[in-house]
Amino acid sequence: MTATTSNRRSLFIASCASLLVTSLSFGIRAGILNDLGVEFELSGSELSRIAATAFWGFPVSMIIGGALVDKVGMKNLMRLAYIGHFAGILLTIFAGGFWSLWISTLFIGLANGMVEAVCNPLVASIYPEEKTTKLNQFHLWFPGGIVIGSLVAFSFGKLGLSWQMMMAVMLLPTIWYALQMERMEFPVTERVANKVSDSEMYKALLNPLYIIVTIAMLGTATSELFINQYVDVLLKSVSNNAILILLITSGVMTFGRGIAAPVVERFSTTGMLLFSAVFTTIGLYMMGTMDGSMLFVSAFVFGIGVTYFWPTMIGFVATYLPSTGAVGMAVIGAAGMFAVSIYMQFMGGFYDELMVGLSEVEAGRKVIMTTLYIPVTLIAIFAGIHLYIRRKHS
């Protein structure tokens, strides 16, 4: 019995569960951000520094994991992932202020990065014939977990339950995926199986196409993750149910990634990315200029836009630049998360400055409209990549 035949479905399900924990950490933290600010008397800048920690802990772990996964094996690195999740969740529950929240978020960020560093090459290795489709289906558990996490935060808040209890919910899937990972055998990565040398892999990382795609990832990750993580703060004064905007966006993303197979068949990988950039631009513009029920429409459009960004970027690298291996997937993901961490801290300070001279509504919208420039730039980048790939493979 090999990991690539009868065992691959079990590996895929366990990988999805580990990503579920990753996404729950984003969804629940986004839902409790204001509660943390009130309980520990934290400013918008301090809250953004705490939230950003998960985003820069993620790339640090992802780079290390991507570099080590071929050497030490995927199973050993998944052990580090679930240990990090346990530590981060428990430290958050028993936090006493800014620094304990910062450290706990760092542990969770490191664990999240390790999940991506291992599971992206794992999925590509066990489903070599349908990489983009299976990576999209794997990554549906990121918005799916945010939906679950947002519902937990919303319903627990309505019931008057503490944010500590919301965090404790994450322990259940963590225990499950830890047990599943321990009982299964893992394959080697696709690069190892294809005998691509280290020198060939690192040379492939200098391919101009890979560099351009990595630069684009800075924008796709920021467009998606900054808005989704900070929406409750930015739009709390515009809507009494700002967290439901995140719920709608994530719901659309979950559904869209679930039906990735016919979409991949209908559009090329680069066509999907161009489509995503256009809809993200429209959705962000609507979010920054409209109010009332139209905010929920904007969330729907924005959700369509960001649905295929992250997994299709990873799928692009796995399909068109396979020699970059696990490191290639890790670097591109790490670059995206690092960009989000920097942008989040910068915009947290910017938001605090705007609040001095503007209302909460105007400040939140100003941040959103400033972010709008990112997907506009991505339209041009992806149009160029789309034309290049079409000509190369025509």
User: Cα–Cα–Cα angle for 310, 312, 317, nearest 5°?
Assistant: 105
For residues 5-31, give the mean pLDDT.
Answer: 86
Residue 272: pLDDT band (50, 70, 90) is: very high
Distance CA 316, CA 140 (A): 17
Domains of the chain: 9-185+199-392 (1.20.1250.20)
Q: Residue 74, Cβ neighbours under 10 Å: how many?
A: 25
Q: Residue 63, Cβ neighbours under 10 Å: how many?
A: 20
Which of the residue ranges 15-19, 245-249, 387-391 would you say has the lowest mean pLDDT?
245-249
Written as one letter, the residue type at 260 is A
The closest of 141, 192, 159, 197 to 18, measured between CA atoms, is 141
The closest of 169, 157, 161, 182 to 21, measured between CA atoms, is 169
Residues ≥6 apart with Cβ < 8 Å to 43: 37, 352
For residues 322-340, give the mean pLDDT.
Answer: 90
For residues 320-334, give the mean pLDDT.
Answer: 91
- The pLDDT value recorded for residue 6 is 62
Check: CB of residue 32 under 8 Å from CB of residue 87. Answer: no
Written as one letter, the residue type at 25 is S
What six digits make up the tokens of 285? 């513009």
Q: Convert the pLDDT of each residue in 227-265 to its tens digit.
A: 876 676 666 656 666 667 777 888 899 999 998 888 888
- The pLDDT value recorded for residue 381 is 97
For residues 162-172, give the mean pLDDT.
Answer: 90
What six digits make up the tokens of 203? 């040379």
Q: Convert the pLDDT of each residue in 369-382 to its tens digit.
A: 999 999 999 999 99
For residues 101-119, give the mean pLDDT.
Answer: 93
H or E element: which one contains 248? helix 242-258
For residues 79-99, give the mean pLDDT.
Answer: 93
User: Cα–Cα–Cα angle for 365, 370, 374, nearest 5°?
Assistant: 130
Residue 362: pLDDT band (50, 70, 90) is: confident
Of residues 148 and 311, more confidently modeled? 311
For residues 343-353, give the mean pLDDT.
Answer: 84
Alpha-carbon torsion angle 236, 239, 241, 245, nearest 10: -90
Written as one letter, the residue type at 47 is L
Q: What is the mean pLDDT of the chain?
A: 87
Check: CB of residue 270 under 8 Å from CB of residue 247. Answer: no
Residue 2, pLDDT > 50, answer no
- The pLDDT value recorded for residue 23 is 87
Half-sphere exposure of 188 (CA within 13 A, CB side): 9
Residue 43: pLDDT band (50, 70, 90) is: confident
Which of the residue ranges 27-41, 248-262, 309-323 would you say has the lowest mean pLDDT?
27-41
- The pLDDT value recorded for residue 116 is 92
Residue 347, pLDDT > 90, answer no
| Crossing angle for the helix pair 141-158 and 131-139, to the nearest 10 degrees | 10
